[in-house]
């Protein structure tokens, strides 16, 4: 027996790389295509190939890894499918910036050469996030790593596109879409981030042709008036029932446009008259369709005004706005300008203000697919956990609009559609046709647009497993078991996977969807670079170790509640890792072999208690992880390891381990200690894989990796670990007595080394019997000179008291406590606190400080005030207790 087996302190950096390399080399993450084991599968939310690990990734992947490691311990055949997303717009932007640094742009290179450059970039830089996930301990089946532009996945994308087109669920049409002038591409509704901005409402007069007056309209975007093709009023608006004219003159362009009546018009907004610009507003587009209005596009794809904008042609859209306002003012047609705060859409990638634009795009008819995705959740085929997200999921699918899937960029899956230049025939096919199916011409041009990134990632659960081929992997692992995701991609990705999975696989893509919350800073604020409160997970891992970081994430991952992250919390769980390490070092001093059999007839009360507690912990962890209550599982283990195993059990069995109670007691204690430590390591492994693997391989009697171990519920050797509620009750009595004595020591400032005399009164025969039987452990852990137990009688003199549920503990203070000295000490402590409170109270009574200081600063001052008040109250209680003592 030697503590040389473990270093004096745990150094995570020395351990983590060594064990991760070992796990990969031994293929411990690999799934079996065919197996008699129960299948368990998770597909990773594929991070962007441009990405680096942030807190959201860390939480998401830590939770997935916990589940996968847990299910392996349960004996399942686990597939955690990894991969990355090609991230069309984001990746193209990154590569274009690289080119620009060298004085090039993609158009100079041409499409083919540009795509080659992107692949080169991906090969050199695109794997960064994968390496970072490995630092986090992610046990993905890396041999199966996929990329959304892989040949196999690209084939699946073409297959889905062609089939949906043939089924009439994909079509091409002219519609208003969200357009990013910077990225020069269409965006789906979900790719638009809305921000509140300070803007203005401009009131513009549209004169009647005969000069008899005007209709005033209010707009936030005066530059779009150049594309107006009507003015609309509500048919029930009395202000416009008897207009002298049914047309007005469009200012600046002097074009006659009709006045139309449509119930969409909000009578309470502005003047109740609406300028209609079908080419630049989605609602105006629908009005235009109802009234057969022409659509005039005056803002081009580059954000500049077109030739239809007249003299403003070529101007930037925002410069045009200023020019239009000045020209209207000069002509006396600008009635007034009022301030307005409203929501403006911005590109989710480059944050440019998006432009609603009329454009010919490809769309998916979403409603038929959405209905099936809703039904799957309503019937329970897929559960959303926590269920508070079901309402949001249903609302989005019930109001879903057709999905714009074409993007005007080069990096991505080029749409498999060809147009015949001779006759205009459109052909959609898996492979490029050699000739037109209508006229036989070979003059064919492929669609230049690529598909929305989310189109390919919507196929992820089955395309990664080899679909459209009927592979053994699909047969074994589809549907997957659970998807772990943030709520921010519930619609971007989850709903679309549901739609595609049900349509093409005739089954849901996953049985459960666990939606985790956000990771915020310690004050509950969303992390952002502008606030300067971003915590880099890699820095945290470097400083505190991966295990401490993972355990922190799990411990605070409560359903429906955001994770408040701070380095102090990670530091606290690093202390937990060190506590486990040091407890193991102590244990290994007494363990030299496996102890599979526990002599139940000879084990002590402390042994029975810890085994019973372990039994409860095993079941609690199993229930918590099965229900996605990660925080409950983590906190249960923390409580058990730190406060029960380390603080109580190891102290309680020291006399037996050191041989003070005989060989039989020592062997029994060793057997229980070995078993408890072994099973505790297995329970902890999903949360803190590195340190548990390191300890496991130093624990006598273990074989191979801890990843090959069996979860205690599934291990027949743990049958001896049974519930013993009576032992728990008895041990709780013992611990309460020891805690009571320790509290009196602390309150009365009695030296830890002072041996005390204690008398315990209890009316309960069973309690007295327990105390007498366990007097040895009580005297040892409470550091007592003597212990007497009796039925209730006269209160002993000169004694401090701790009152328990079925007993009263009296600690004799005669010869132990100097009342005068202790009174002086307490008074001195209270005086120091009073002085500090005076200064803090002045701050809190200062209205200027409360009004001007940041909220977090004020709260810290209040918190300090509360802490000092609590400390003073405790000192007052202690003073009263001393005054009540009769030491004469």
What's the order of all strands across the beta sheet hosting 214-219?
A: 214-219, 192-207, 334-347
Query: What phi, psi does 473 have (nearest 5°)?
Result: -60, -45
Helix crossing, 630-638 with 605-626: angle to 10°?
A: 160
Please say whether the beta carbons of 230 and 212 come within 8 A: no
Rounded to 5°, the CA angle 103-105-108 comes to 105
CA–CA separation, 266 and 632 (whole Å): 51
Distances (CA, A) of 364 to 164, 168, 361, 503, 598: 8, 9, 10, 13, 65
CA–CA separation, 510 and 496 (whole Å): 12
Please say whether the beta carbons of 418 and 445 come within 8 A: yes
CB neighbour class for 566 (10 Å; exposed up to 12, middle 13-18, buried from 19): middle
Rounded to 5°, the CA angle 735-740-745 comes to 125
Rounded to 5°, the CA angle 596-597-600 comes to 145
CA–CA separation, 802 and 359 (whole Å): 80
Query: What phi, psi does 76 have (nearest 5°)?
Result: -80, 155
Residue 371, SS3 per DSSP:
helix
Q: How do strand 563-564 and strand 519-520 relate by DSSP bridges?
A: parallel
CA–CA separation, 747 and 673 (whole Å): 34
Reference 215, options 246, 187, 169; nearest CA is 246
Query: What phi, psi does 464 have (nearest 5°)?
Result: -70, -20
Residue 439: asked if its preceding bond is cis (omega within 30°), the reply is no
Please say whether the beta carbons of 38 and 75 come within 8 A: yes
Q: What is the DSSP letter of 643?
A: I
What lies within 8 Å, CB to CB, of 774 at 6+ separation is: 605, 730, 734
Look up tokens 């994909």; give the residue: 170
CA–CA separation, 768 and 809 (whole Å): 12
Residue 187, SS3 per DSSP:
strand
Query: Which tokens in the block code for residue 429?
Result: 């096919």
- The b/e string for 394-433 (b: 16+ C-beta within 10 A; e otherwise) is beebeebebbbbbbbbbbbbbbbbbbbeeeebebbeeeee
Numbers of helices and strands, H then E, in the chain: 30, 29
Reference 131, options 64, 59, 57, 71; nearest CA is 57
Q: What is the DSSP letter of 852?
A: H
Q: What is the largest CA-CA distance in the chain?
A: 119
CA–CA separation, 668 and 606 (whole Å): 11
Q: How do strand 510-516 and strand 480-486 relate by DSSP bridges?
A: parallel
529 labeled binding residue: yes
Query: Which tokens in the block code for residue 369?
Result: 């697919």
Binding-site members for ATP are: 529
Binding-site members are: 529
């Amino acid at each position: 027996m030697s503590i040389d087996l473990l270093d004096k302190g745990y150094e995570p950096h020395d351990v983590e790389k060594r064990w991760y390399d070992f796990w990969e080399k031994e293929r411990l993450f690999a799934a079996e295509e065919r197996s008699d084991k129960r299948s368990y599968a998770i597909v990773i939310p594929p991070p962007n190939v441009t990405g680096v690990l942030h807190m959201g990734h860390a939480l998401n992947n830590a939770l997935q890894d916990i589940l996968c490691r847990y299910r392996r311990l349960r004996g399942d055949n686990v597939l955690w499918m990894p991969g990355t997303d090609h991230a069309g717009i984001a990746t193209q932007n990154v590569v274009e910036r690289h080119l620009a640094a060298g004085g090039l742009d993609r158009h100079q290179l041409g499409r083919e050469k540009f795509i080659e450059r992107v692949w080169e970039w991906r090969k050199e830089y695109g794997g960064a996030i994968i390496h970072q996930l490995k630092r986090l301990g992610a046990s993905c089946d890396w041999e199966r790593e996929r990329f959304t532009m892989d040949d196999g996945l690209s084939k699946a994308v073409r297959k889905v596109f062609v089939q949906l087109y043939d089924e009439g669920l994909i079509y091409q049409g002219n519609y208003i879409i969200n357009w990013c002038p910077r990225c020069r591409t269409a965006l789906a509704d979900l790719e638009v981030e809305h921000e509140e901005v300070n803007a203005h409402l401009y009131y513009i007069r549209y004169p009647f042709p005969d000069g008899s007056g005007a209709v005033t309209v209010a707009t936030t975007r005066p530059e779009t008036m150049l594309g107006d093709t009507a003015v609309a009023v509500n048919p029930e608006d009395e202000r416009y029932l008897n207009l002298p004219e049914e047309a007005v003159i469009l200012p600046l362009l002097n074009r006659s446009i009709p006045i139309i009546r449509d119930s969409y018009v909000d009578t309470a907004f502005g003047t109740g008259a609406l300028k209609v610009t079908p080419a630049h507003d989605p609602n105006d587009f629908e009005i235009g369709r109802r009234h057969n209005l022409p659509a005039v596009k005056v803002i081009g794809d580059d954000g500049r005004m077109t030739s239809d904008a007249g003299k403003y042609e070529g101007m930037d859209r925002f410069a045009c706005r200023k020019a239009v306002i000045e020209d209207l003012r000069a002509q006396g047609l600008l009635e007034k300008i009022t301030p307005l705060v409203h929501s403006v859409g911005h590109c989710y990638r480059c944050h440019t203000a998006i432009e609603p634009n009329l454009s010919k795009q490809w769309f998916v008819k979403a409603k038929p697919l959405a209905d099936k995705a809703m039904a799957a959740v309503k019937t329970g085929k897929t559960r959303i956990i926590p269920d508070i997200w079901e309402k949001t999921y249903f609302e989005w699918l019930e109001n879903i609009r057709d999905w714009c899937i074409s993007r005007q960029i080069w990096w991505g899956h080029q749409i498999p559609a060809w147009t015949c230049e001779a006759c205009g025939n459109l052909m959609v096919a898996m492979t490029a046709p050699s000739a037109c199916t209508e006229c036989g011409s070979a003059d064919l041009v492929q669609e230049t647009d690529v598909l929305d990134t989310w189109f390919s990632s919507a196929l992820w659960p089955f395309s990664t497993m080899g679909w459209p081929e009927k592979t053994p992997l699909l047969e074994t692992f589809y549907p997957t078991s659970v998807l772990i995701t943030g709520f921010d991609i519930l619609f971007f990705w989850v709903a679309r996977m549901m739609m595609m999975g049900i349509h093409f696989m005739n089954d849901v893509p996953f049985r459960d969807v666990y939606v985790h919350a956000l990771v915020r800073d310690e004050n509950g604020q969303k992390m952002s670079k502008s606030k300067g409160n971003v915590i880099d997970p890699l820095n945290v891992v470097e400083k505190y170790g991966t295990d401490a970081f993972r355990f922190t994430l799990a411990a605070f991952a409560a359903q429906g509640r955001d994770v408040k992250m701070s380095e102090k919390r990670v530091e606290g769980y690093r202390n937990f890792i060190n506590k486990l390490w040091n407890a193991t070092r102590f244990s290994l001093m007494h363990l030299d072999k496996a102890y599979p059999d526990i002599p139940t007839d000879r084990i002590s009360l402390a042994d029975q208690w810890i085994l019973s507690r372990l039994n409860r912990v095993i079941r609690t962890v199993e229930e918590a992880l099965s229900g996605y209550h990660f925080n409950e599982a983590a906190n249960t283990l923390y409580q058990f390891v730190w406060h029960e195993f380390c603080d109580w059990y190891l102290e309680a069995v020291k006399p037996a381990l050191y041989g003070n109670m005989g060989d039989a007691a020592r062997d029994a204690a060793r057997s229980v200690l070995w078993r408890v430590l072994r099973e505790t390591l297995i329970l902890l492994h999903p949360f803190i894989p590195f340190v548990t693997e390191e300890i496991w391989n130093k624990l006598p009697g273990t074989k191979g990796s801890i990843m090959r171990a069996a979860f205690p519920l599934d291990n027949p050797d743990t049958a001896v670990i049974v519930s013993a509620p009576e032992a728990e009750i008895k041990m709780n009595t013992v611990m309460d007595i020891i805690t009571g004595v320790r509290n009196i020591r602390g309150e009365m400032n009695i030296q830890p080394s002072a041996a005390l005399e204690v008398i315990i009164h209890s009316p309960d025969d069973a309690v007295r019997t327990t105390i007498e039987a366990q007097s040895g452990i009580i005297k040892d852990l409470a550091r007592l000179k003597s212990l007497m137990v009796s039925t209730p009688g006269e209160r002993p003199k000169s004694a401090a008291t701790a009152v328990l549920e079925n007993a009263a503990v009296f600690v004799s203070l005669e010869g132990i406590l100097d009342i005068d000295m202790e009174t002086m000490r307490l008074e001195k402590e209270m005086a120091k606190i009073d002085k500090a409170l005076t200064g803090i109270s002045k701050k809190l009574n200062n209205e200027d400080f409360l009004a001007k200081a940041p909220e977090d600063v004020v709260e810290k001052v209040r918190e300090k005030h509360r802490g000092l008040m609590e400390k003073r109250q405790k000192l007052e209680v202690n003073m009263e207790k001393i005054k009540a003592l009769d030491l004469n």
